[in-house]
Amino acid sequence: MSGAERRSIGIGMVGYAFMGMAHSQGWRNARSFFDPALTPRLVALGGRDRVAAGELARRFDWQHVETDWRALVAREDVGLVDICTPGDTHAEIAIAALEAGKHVLCEKPLANSVAEAEAMAAAAERARAAGVRSMVGFTYRRVPAVALARKLVAEGRIGEVRQVRAEYLQDWLSDPASPMSWRLEKNRAGSGALGDIGAHAVDLTQFITGLPVTGVSGLTDTFVTERPLADGSGTGRVTVDDSAVFLARLAGGAPATFTATRFASGRKNALRIEISGTEGSLAFDFEDMNALHLYEESTPSRTRGFTRVLVTEPDHPYVSAWWPPGHLLGYEHGFSHQAADLLAAIDAGEDPAPSFADGLAVQRVLAAVETSAAADSVWTTVDTSAPAAAAGAEARADREREAAR
């Protein structure tokens, strides 16, 4: 396709911290390595701190800085709004952008509550009817080994799913002297390890197996209840969980176990999942992200065992856009794959995945775990129905936001 035939879309991103940097790199590399028919232009970066936002804009060549997200959404040269802010702002920004006719990419978890997530899913469905697309950023789906795992399960290589073990282990809060941040405040983050990293474990399980979580029994713990404020002025109260552990049942009956913790000393970013089936098993660990471990019962007994598949061949998902076989990919590449997939879907007039409805499905699991944990781990059913009607969902979200003020 010649340059004259190409179309472009202006990206407006709200947020300039860790995720803002990762998304900026994703948009830039998607343009360079995947050469999409719909080319992203880094038009406007939004953030309340003009100096900090301006610094990220300079480093990644964003053209403009806006200190009010409403002004960013209103820009005529912005066609897609990328939301990289804390969870308490997701619903308001996303719904406003969708109603303004802008495509939306929103970081996970989709919202801070089921009511907000329902309102967002309803807004996305209305916008979809007008050709406006939306996607939630469960980026680990875009790791080539994870995408390969989904294909193998769908092809029946491990047979019927019997059991799942999923965990996400980090240790960045294991030191009690680690300072307070917005991720430790329930009114901003929604939940702690459960929503921040447990959401990824839930989504990967549902994505790879194709089976929704239908019920849970959970425990949550907060190990350090007070932490020093970053400015040294005192301490702040931690109002979220440090660790969440729960049992689950998948549709079809397979049991699953989940652990999400930011207190696993020595584990930096260990997102792990192992799926056992009637004909074999799959295992993945993000700390060895270029490999997928595959066990198949059909292998002759004298050579049967887990095979480490190095997922760097051109026929593996996403890999052909990058380097020769054996030249490994890293954390940042998932964001490029995410951006490329979203641009391709918008260009083709198709719905991208994961959708806001997928984000709502994860939110319902998180809420069920919190409900269970608050009631001495009572078994709690997860709502797997379609998103609620728009008016009811938005009314509930409005009431919840008002109550939180």
pLDDT tens track for 278-309: 999 999 999 999 999 999 999 999 999 999 99
- Is pLDDT at 402 greater than 80 in this prediction? no
Residue 367 counted as domain residue: no
Tell me what pLDDT residue 11 has: 98
C-alpha distances out from residue 201 to 66, 310, 373, Å: 34, 22, 18
- Assess whether 149 and 74 both reside in one domain: no
C-alpha distances out from residue 116 to 110, 192, 302, 394, Å: 8, 18, 54, 7
The residue with greater pLDDT, 399 or 149, is 149
The CATH number that applies at residue 23 is 3.40.50.720
Phi, psi of 35 (to 5 degrees): 45, 60
- End-of-domain residue from the set 309, 329, 349: 329
Q: What is the mean pLDDT of residues 324-330?
A: 97
Strand 307-310 vs strand 291-296: parallel, antiparallel, or unpaired?
Answer: antiparallel
Q: What is the mean pLDDT of residues 77-101?
A: 98
Cβ atoms of 37 and 23 closer than 8 Å: no
Which residues, in sequence order, are bridge partners of residue 136?
106
Residue 253 counted as domain residue: yes
pLDDT tens track for 369-380: 999 999 999 999
Domain count along the chain = 2
Tell me what pLDDT residue 397 has: 47
Tell me what pLDDT residue 387 has: 82
Count the Cβ atoms, other than its own, within 10 Å of residue 370. 21
- Is pLDDT at 222 greater than 50 in this prediction? yes
User: pTM for the whole thing?
Assistant: 0.93
The DSSP symbol for 141 reads: G
- Assess whether 199 and 324 both reside in one domain: yes
**Tokens encoding 391:** 């008016």
Domain interval for residue 81: 3-140
- Assess whether 89 and 104 both reside in one domain: yes
- Is pLDDT at 344 greater than 90 in this prediction? yes
Tell me what pLDDT residue 6 has: 77
- End-of-domain residue from the set 106, 122, 140: 140
Closest of 211, 313, 331 to residue 322, by C-alpha: 313
Residue 395 counted as domain residue: no
Percent of the chain with pLDDT over 90: 93
- Assess whether 298 and 158 both reside in one domain: yes
- Assess whether 259 and 200 both reside in one domain: yes
Helices 356-374, 114-128: axis angle to 10 degrees equals 170
The CATH number that applies at residue 281 is 3.30.360.10
C-alpha span between 324 and 21 (Å, rounded): 26
Tell me what pLDDT residue 388 has: 61
- Assess whether 164 and 247 both reside in one domain: yes
- Assess whether 159 and 298 both reside in one domain: yes
- Assess whether 110 and 219 both reside in one domain: no
Tell me what pLDDT residue 5 has: 66
Cβ atoms of 309 and 292 closer than 8 Å: yes
- Is pLDDT at 398 greater than 90 in this prediction? no
Tell me what pLDDT residue 386 has: 85
- End-of-domain residue from the set 140, 157, 185: 140
- Assess whether 116 and 199 both reside in one domain: no
SS3 assignment, position 378: coil
